[in-house]
């Protein structure tokens, strides 16, 4: 696990190839193995491989989401808000588990924040994504994880740059 964490970087450029269905099956399993508060599992995951849909979703924000159109897969991480008061935490945990599982399977990925972001001055990114995917208003959208075989390489963050001073040992 530490080796994975050392290698982990956000990857936003992907090869133009579909993701192996067996790999997608493992990602699906990783998503629903994520722990949740009280085991409520309020999350829903929408696996999007359809190119026109990825293109639409890549416009969820004015910046920071455009690269989704070049991804092999986007996983929309959302939740039924009324099911759990800590749905944000539950979604966040599942999103990072998806990213680390993807890395272990040879994929690159990047988190695209949707909650608390705007599509335009008058419309939230959540509203935009809900409309594109036909989701009900009760469904909250935390983020989209973009995934694909990496077309860029990034160096690990050097150990000397890690902020160990932010850890207090008592
Ligand atoms: C909660 C969260 C939200 C993020 N939102 C975005 C985003 O909307 N678009 C984007 O390109 N990257 C996004 N990122 C990726 C960060 O920019 C990235 O993790 C950070 O710059 C550190 O780079 P690294 O992941 O390569 O170590 C997000 C990451 C987190 C954890």
pLDDT string in tens for the chain (170-residue length): 999 999 999 999 999 999 999 999 999 999 999 999 999 999 999 999 999 999 999 999 999 999 999 999 999 999 999 999 999 999 999 999 999 999 999 999 999 999 999 999 999 999 999 999 999 999 999 999 999 999 999 999 999 999 999 999 99
So what's the pLDDT on residue 88?
Answer: 98
Cβ–ligand 1 distance for 113 under 6 Å, the answer: yes
Nearest residue (CA) to ligand 1, atom 30: 111
Cβ–ligand 1 distance for 110 under 6 Å, the answer: yes
H or E stretch covering 45: strand 43-48
Q: Are 127 and 61 in contact (CB under 8 A)?
A: no
> Hunting for tokens 């040992």 — which residue is that?
169
Q: What's the pTM?
A: 0.98
Widest Cα–Cα separation across the chain: 53
Cβ–ligand 1 distance for 112 under 6 Å, the answer: yes
Q: What distance in angstroms lies between residue 170's CA and the mean position of ligand 1's atoms? A: 31
Domains in the chain (CATH in brackets) are: 2-151 (3.40.109.10)
């Amino acid at each position: 696990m530490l080796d994975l964490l050392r290698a982990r970087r956000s990857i936003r450029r992907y090869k133009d190839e579909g993701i192996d269905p067996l790999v997608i099956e493992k990602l699906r399993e990783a998503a629903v193995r994520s722990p949740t508060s009280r085991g409520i599992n309020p999350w829903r995951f929408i696996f999007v491989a359809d190119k026109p849909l990825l293109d639409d979703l890549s416009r969820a924000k004015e910046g920071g989401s455009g690269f989704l159109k070049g991804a092999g897969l986007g996983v929309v991480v959302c939740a039924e808000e009324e099911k759990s008061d800590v749905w944000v935490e539950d979604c966040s945990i599942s999103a990072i588990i998806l990213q680390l599982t993807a890395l272990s399977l040879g994929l690159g990925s990047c988190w695209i924040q949707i909650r608390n972001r705007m599509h335009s001055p008058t419309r939230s990114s959540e509203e935009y994504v809900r409309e594109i995917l036909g989701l009900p208003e009760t469904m909250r959208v935390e983020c989209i994880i973009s995934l694909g075989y990496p077309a860029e390489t990034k160096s690990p963050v050097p150990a000397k740059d890690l902020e160990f001073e932010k850890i207090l040992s008592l």
